[in-house]
Structure 1
Amino acid sequence: MDLNNPHTKFFKELAHCLAPLDQQLVNANNYVQRSVVIDRIQTNDQEVIKAIIHNDYLRKNFTSDVNGTLVFNSAEFITALRQREYSYDGETRYRNFIGLTIDRRPIDDYAQENVELDFPYKDTVLKAGMSTTDVKHSNEPYLNKIIAKDEIIALTEPKAFCNTKQYGDIDPQQPNLLIKGNNLIALNSLASRYTNKIKLIYMDVPYYFKENKETDTFAYNSNFKLSTWLTFMENRLQAAFELLQDDGSIWIHVGEDGMHYLKVLCDQIFGVDRFVGTLPRKTRSGKSDVPFNFSQDFDWILVYTKTTNSDTAIVGRRVNRKYYETPDFPGRKWRTADLSKQTTTAERPNSDFTMVNPKTGKKYPVNPNRSWAVTKDTFQEYYDAGGIGFPDDYDFMKGEKPFRRVFKDEDDKKKKSSVASDLLLKDFIKTLMNNAKTTKKDEFVKKQEFNYAKPEELMKAIISVTTDEGDLVMDCFSGSGTTAAVAHKMNRHYIAVEQIDNQLKLSEQRLINIINGQDKGGITKEVGWKQGGGFIYTELANKRTKLIDQVNVANSVDDVWKLIRNLKANDYQLNIQLSNLYQNNELVDLAAVKQAVVDILEPTQLYVQAANVNDPDEEIAPVDRQFTHDFYAGKELKINE
């Protein structure tokens, strides 16, 4: 039987009724030409449709009576035509398939199509401010990519900087940055300068909770509904991913309730072949008063990379080894390694020989159970290159076996040692399992009553296995600045983005203390940090703060309305709200008008476009105008007061 045109009753009846019409519909072998029939039906060929519905069998299965009118179910009929083994003869319409379908076709038939996780508001942008005033503003506007295209373009265009200042000594080519602003807007502003340049991105994202939490790092955002939270994350993950260099990695810290949803979303954004692994972090000791009598004491870190080459060393450890420096190899430090293999001499007969030290003549018999790693023929080659040494060559050397000599410059060229995901990796996993909770070492953070800071030990463990000195690290949910603090002490460059004022002040002072040598907590002693370095503090220029200040000092209702009329805001939602308020003639009390306007302005993100940095109306200081120009031109960043 021809599987492309099976002789089921359906096709027999169809061939019977269409054959008299046209040989293009049914060929000489009485096979239905499916594509031709489908095309005729989709173009409403009355002759073909009339022939079909006059066939008793086809009329019974593909028409409906709607108030006395016969309606042809063309979509269902086309689906039947497309099925290879579709039949109305048996108990089921499908001979071989039972399972998930799309338009009644098994998913197997969609070999070239994608089946993906979908959720409400998927194709939107969510600004999602995270200032302390946002707690009372729960109706975050969604910007649909079609109907709000202009708003989204304005939102994601590069922004001007303001209030820029420098602390300590910076590297003008790659200065450390502490940026105040909405992280979605900041990520898009960073793109022109930092695309494909960041080695490590760490994101301690606002957790999604099935139940509302009264207190958490982000009182507003942590209580997002699931679809909102996924949209919030999608927007930021897509923007951050563009900044990551090919052999870099992104580490996303997430709670139990949202972890599996986020994993599927990340697979969709980054691709499943870029998934590196999942790591648990122990957050507390077990509790007894818990649902189902099961204490969930972990949160999770999802790790992805930008490359699809699994041979790339995304993570790795530098092993501390003991090296010797001897007169026979001046300027080349070396270490010892095993010169035998886990194979017997019977298995490797070419390695079954007594090794003789060319300098002293001392003989070293082979161990029959562990043959030499070199053969009789290759011994001299390795020895002449310095690759084989003997214990009787050096007074300080212990042992009774020849050794393989490995030079330090050879080690330096090799990729880092692998990072195991189990308990055999003592330092890294020990940190995740035992030392990753906030401890008394983080005294500066604890004094500021910031209860949710990740400990410096955790960030040291992550930065150690993902970066080298001089690499660039970014944290766009910076919080109290732990990532920046650890990166500074470990001689990495960093970018930290935060919006909440009290957390920014905490981060700023924390970094100042590190520069001045006043920070004694965290990993300071462990890494031997003293003092030095520097960073640039800057803000995305925001018109909202100035406008709110102007509203609060207005002397009359007319002055408030004048401010609103003069406001240039590419924000549809804001303009509608202010317009509606302006039309409300019942508001005549000055205090009530001010409060109503401020309530509308507080959750907005009225940032100044970088293209308008020279506009006098934007009131950007000369130092900030120069910084903005240099930033987007890729020039050295110097703060000239």
Structure 2
Amino acid sequence: MKTKINEAIKQVLRLFGEKYFIGEVLNKNKVIHDLDTYDKDLLEAFISNETLKSNFTIDIAGNIVMQTNKLIELFEADEYWQDSYTKYSKKIGLTAGGKFIDESTDVVLDFPYKDTVLKASMSKEDTDKNDLRPDEPFLNEVIAKEEIDVLLDKKVLVNAKKYDEDGEHEVDSFSEDDNLVMKGNNLLALHTIKECYRNKVKLVYLDPPYYFLNNTDDTFAYNSDFKLSTWLVFMKNRIELTLDLLKEDGYLVIQMNDYGVFHLKVLLDEIFHNNTAGGFVNHISVKMSDLSGPKMAHVNKKIPKIKEHLLIYAKNYDHCFLNPLRESSTWDAAIDAKRYTSFVDMKGKENPAEWEYTTVRKKLQSLGMEYGSKEAYKFLMDNADKVFRTAANPALTKLSKENKFNRNIFTPVTTSTGLKKYVYKDEEVIFASSKIEEIDGIKTPTESISDIWLNIALNDLSNEGGGVELDNGKKPEALLKRIIEATTNEGDIVLDYFMGTATTQATSLKLKRKFIGIEQMDYILDKSVQRLINTIGAEKRGISKDVNWQGGGSFVYVELMEKNRGFLKSIRDAKTQTELHKVFDFMLKEAEIDFRVDLEGVKDSLHELPFEDQKKTLIKIIDKNQLYYNYSEIDDKNVRDLISDSDYAFNKNFYDEGGK
């Protein structure tokens, strides 16, 4: 197995001549002994090598400390040194296939080095092809510890385009004011952008693949067929990285179904407790279906399901402040004969007993206005300090002892919702002015919003975004508007790396926020990008009317440059032996092959297998840790020849020249 680390180790050990070799064979028992006894010369040589220093040392108060335990563990794993002189070090234990069980990454689920990235494709169209899919549910079936940095290194970006009111343009640079849409595996894409966006994102909203107990409940197009433990690790990998991207006053909001929300909350509580000063803010229930309307997945319960959940977490709880959640109301919902029944003229008198009362209707009638008219509405808004609601039997016991039996109390009590409540003749009096806010200079009735959201409009959902559809997975712009307005301000960055049909990005654009969207599914151009093009073109659905959306804006689109992922697709698409063997010949030149594979054996025997078994074999031997080209390879001749000049310039600008 040739890796950067084991080549660096051999290079260092060769500095000692024959001390650690018997002929050409490594005497690993000798190496382990000297590491275990802190041989000064050996440790100095390891620290002097930059590759080994970056992987096997830590800085403690300015002192470089060699992690000899990690090096010893590496040497004890036989698969890394199959030609070593000593098969076993001084150790006794259970073995399987000649390896100690606790040293085998085939057996041990080692969180720092195992990642639950979805398969080469997230779509069910691929994962349902049971005869061709790899057996291992992990994208990286077994990942060598020293290659984790290679897997998660930033990737080459290709097909860069900018979309604005004038259409699509080739682009060779990226600025901090640009919105970004990226196609590729979201874990690898997040690692690609983390240097540019670390501590800059104000809101991360996620509508991830839901966890389902029963696959028949799952109606989404992408693969969400997980075991619970796999699904939780899948979420864990991404959420931990999300924390690096969030600002100190940033928020994470995740939408989830009944099956996964409680497991996810336990995971989130642990992550936020262990990693930051942040924590849980709210759990909101959102009505997402009507029993009489379109059904949600798993709606047919003993008690029918019409809700979903929003989990809200703050990166740094002390620095985060939600904007007030208010909902503007119509005339009938705010000031009507049932709720705001009286009109009072104080005439400068402080004692409520001396106020002059009449009904709202009689007051309007005396002024020649028709109740419910626009003229009457404006009058009542302008005189909101004289319109009040009464309610019998207030909670007088909550008043102070000296005022408990005083039925005429002028000093107001502030309620839990922030409204001013007066008491007069065993009635609570709440003035309409307590519920009036100026929105764009116009006095408007508002209602405080609680943690149960029942009024998100779902009736025109399929037409939002210019008719871009996603069966059962599309979220309403009204929902995203409420979340975005509560957690961000104009100019803030909103990230959604399960982009779908770009509801988050379209809503952010209409609300004058910047956005980042990441999507792996191939429909990104037909659905996600097309919706944003429609939004720039001033489509009128969703929240467009509420915010007076007139169009405009822009975004940059890029793709992670495919490597082995392209080979997987070519294998599946091959129709004949000739096509498949051309793919294999190209793989031998360019593809990364799993280090455990006997490649010569494959070449000698592949032709003997049935056609479909040949496909399965080629899929299995590809190293699925290497799906995309790393940016570090961009100047390699074989890679550079595949990249256009404008894409090359874009990469240099994005990574090297700031695009930040």
Distance 1:548 1:464, change over 3 A: same
Matches of 1:512 and 1:253 in 2, distance apart?
26
1:257 CA drift (Å): 0.8
Give the CA deviation at 1:561: 3.8
Contact 1:248 1:314 in 2 (8 A): no
Note closer, same or farther for the CA distance 1:584–1:199 as it changes in structure 2 (3 Å cut): same
Which one has a larger percent strand, Structure 1 or Structure 2?
Answer: 2
1:74 maps to: none
Residue of structure 1 in register with 2:316 after alignment: 307
SS of the residue 1:486 aligns to: helix
Q: Which residue of 2 aligns with 1:450?
A: 471
Q: Closer, same or farther in 2 for the Cα pair 1:159/1:236, shift >3 Å?
A: same
2:500 matched to 1:479? yes
Instruction: Answer yes or no: is 1:527 the counterpart of 2:547.
Output: yes
After superposition, residues 101-500 of structure 1 pair within 5 angstroms as: 122-123=111-112, 124-129=114-119, 130-131=122-123, 132-136=125-129, 137=133, 139-141=136-138, 148-168=144-164, 172-213=175-216, 215-220=218-223, 222-271=224-273, 274-286=279-291, 293-309=302-318, 312-317=320-325, 369-370=410-411, 426=447, 428=449, 432-435=453-456, 437=458, 439-440=460-461, 442-444=463-465, 448=469, 450-500=471-521
Mapped contact 2:159–2:558 kept (Cα < 8 A) = yes
8 Å Cα contact 1:143/1:151 also seen in 2: no
**Contact 1:480/1:504 (8 A) holds in 2:** no
Q: Give a deviation string over 1:510-529, Cα, whole Å, max 9, x none.
A: 11111122x22111112111
Which residue of structure 1 aligns with residue 560 of structure 2? 540
* CA distance in 1: counterparts of 2:541 and 2:306, whole angstroms: 26
Partner of 1:359: none
Report if the CA contact (8 A) 2:462-2:469 is conserved: no
SS in 2 for 1:630: helix
Q: 1:449 to 1:258 in 2, by over 3 A?
A: closer
Moved more, 182-191 or 548-557: 548-557
Q: Is the 8 A contact 1:614 1:620 kept in 2?
A: no
1:554 touches 1:560 (CA, 8 Å); kept in 2? Answer: no
Verify the 8 A CA contact 1:436 1:454 in the aligned structure 2.
no
One-letter amino acid matched to 2:320: T
Closer, same or farther: CA 603–190 of 1 in aligned 2, 3 Å: same
Distance in 1 separating the partners of 2:221 and 2:599: 27
Counterparts of 1:427 and 1:621 in 2: how far apart (Å)?
54
Query: Deviations 1:227-278 (Å, cap 9, x if unpaired)?
Result: 1111111111111111010111000111111111111111111118511111
Gaps of 5+ in 2: 1-107, 166-170, 330-381, 386-395, 413-432
Question: 2:240, 2:270 → 1: CA distance?
Answer: 10
* Offset at residue 294 of structure 1 (A): 1.7
The 3 A distance-change label for structure 1 pair 308 and 514 is closer
CA RMSD of aligned residues (A): 4.5
SS in 2 for 1:584: helix
In 2, Cα distance between equivalents of 1:434 and 1:577: 61
Aligned to 2:655: 632
Distance of 1:601 and 1:439 partners within structure 2: 45
Q: For the Cα contact (< 8 Å) 1:251–1:301, is it kept in 2?
A: yes
> SS of the residue aligned with 2:608?
coil
Matched, 1:514 2:535: yes
Letter in 2 for 1:313: F
CA distance in 2, matches of 1:174, 1:635: 12
Aligned-pair distance for 1:564?
2.5
Cα distance in 2 for partners of 1:182, 1:512 equals 23
Q: Distance in 2 between matches of 1:290 and 1:449?
A: 18
Structure 2 vs 1, CA of residues 579 and 512 (structure 1 numbering), >3 Å: closer, same or farther? farther
Q: Secondary structure at the match of 2:137?
A: coil
What SS is found at the alignment partner of 2:240?
helix
Partner SS, residue 293 of structure 1 = coil
Name the SS for the 2:546 alignment partner.
helix
Instruction: Please give the per-residue CA displacement for 1:66-109, whole angstroms capped at 9, x wherever unaligned.
Output: xxxxxxxxxxxxxxxxxxxxxxxxxxxxxxxxxxxxxxxxxxxx
1:281-319 deviations in Å (ceiling 9; x for gaps) = 22223489977732232221111111031x631443489
Q: State the AA in 2 paired with 1:499.
A: Q
Q: How does 1:566-581 map to 2 (within 5 A)?
A: 566-569=589-592, 572=595, 576=597, 581=602
Aligned letter for 1:531? G
Matched, 1:611 2:632: yes
Cα shift at 1:632: 1.9
Mean CA deviation greater in 269-278 or 244-253? 269-278
Shift of 1:449: 5.1
Q: Residue type of the partner of 2:164? A: G
The letter for the 2-side match of 1:257 is Y
Larger Rg: 1
Q: Partners of 1:604 and 1:231 in 2: how far apart? A: 17
Do 2:140 and 2:623's aligned partners in 1 also have CA atoms closer than 8 Å?
Answer: no
CA-CA distance at 1:440 after TM superposition = 4.3
Assess, with a 3 A threshold, how the Cα gap between structure 1 residues 595 and 231 changes in structure 2: closer, same or farther: closer
CA contact (8 A) 1:179 1:540 kept: yes
C-alpha contact (below 8 Å) 2:592/2:622 kept by paired residues: no
CA contact (8 A) 1:274 1:306 kept: yes
Find the aligned partners of 1:134 and 1:455 in 2 and give their Cα distance. 29
Q: Return the alpha-carbon distance in structure 2 between the equivalents of residues 319 and 594 of structure 1.
A: 57
Provide the residue aligned with 1:33 in structure 2. Answer: none
CA distance in 1, matches of 2:467, 2:447: 28
**CA drift at 1:162:** 0.5
How many aligned residue pairs are there? 438
Work out the CA distance in 1 between the residues paired with 2:658 and 2:158: 18
Per the alignment, do residues 547 and 224 of structure 1 end up closer, same or farther by CA in structure 2, a change over 3 Å counting? closer
Q: How far apart are the structure 2 equivalents of 1:291 and 1:121?
A: 39
Give, in whole Å, the separation in 1 of the partners of 2:150 and 2:211. 28
630, 639, 645: which one pairs with 1:622? Answer: 645
Query: Helix, strand or coil for the counterpart of 1:562?
Result: helix
- Offset from partner CA, 1:148-175 (integer Å, 9 cap, x none): 2234221211111001101117983221
Q: Percent identity?
A: 32
Contact 1:498-1:504 at 8 Å conserved across structures: no
2: CA distance between counterparts of 1:623 and 1:567? 24
Q: Distance in 2 between matches of 1:441 and 1:550?
A: 34
* 8 Å contact from structure 2 (residues 594, 623) kept in 1: no
Classify 1:578/1:242 alpha carbon distance in 2 versus 1 (closer, same or farther; 3 Å). Answer: farther
Q: Which amino acid aligns with 1:280?
A: S
SS of structure 1 residue aligned to 2:545: helix
Q: How far apart are the structure 2 equivalents of 1:493 and 1:466? A: 13
Tell me the secondary structure at the aligned position of residue 159 of structure 1: coil
The two structures have a TM-score, normalised by structure 2, of: 0.57
Residue by residue, what CA displacement relative to the aligned partner does 1:110-152 show, whole Å, maximum 9, x if unpaired?
A: xxxxxxxxx966553112141442343363227599x622342
Matched residues in 1 for 2:598 and 2:261: separation? 36
Q: Which amino acid aligns with 1:152?
A: I
